[in-house]
Amino acid sequence: MERFENTLADAARSVKVANPQGLHARPVMRFVDLANQYQSRVAVKKGNFVVDGKNPMEMMLLEATQGTCLELMAAGTDATQAIDALAQLVENGFGEA
């Protein structure tokens, strides 16, 4: 996993995992599928751990439960749009809350 410092991000936002089951396979795939609709590089940070937001295996490593605070970061031409859409997905409980 490569470093993705917030200072390199074109857009970033903190969100809390809302759905009761946290990040399990289904919400991870919803997140990854949405992230892959954007050209920008997407990363997700939990504490000091940063993963590729377009890689489902790395996303599962976050083991984020309900209430976990995540930092969403993106770099690229559509970074703001990507972060807006991904933050809305997380905040709305991936359609499961």
pTM, full prediction:
0.90
Residue 37 annotated among the catalytic residues of the structure = no
Predicted confidence (pLDDT) per residue in 48-76, tens digit: 999 999 999 999 999 999 999 999 999 99
Kindly state whether residue 95 falls inside one of the protein's structural domains.
no
Angle 41-80-10 (CA atoms, 0-180°, nearest 5)? Answer: 60
pLDDT band for position 2 (50/70/90)?
very low
Question: Cβ atoms within 10 A of the Cβ of 73, count?
Answer: 27
Q: Is residue 10 part of a domain?
A: yes
12 lies in a domain?
Answer: yes
Examine residue 33 and state whether it is found in any structural domain, yes or no: yes
Model confidence at 37: pLDDT above 50? yes
CB 87 within 8 A of CB 13: yes
The catalytic residue among 24, 29, 56, 75 is 24
Do the domain assignments include residue 63?
yes
Query: What is the domain extent for residue 26?
Result: 6-90
- pLDDT, one tens digit per residue, over 5-26 is 545 689 999 999 999 999 999 9
- How many structural domains are present in the chain? 1
Residue 69: CATH number of its domain: 3.30.1340.10
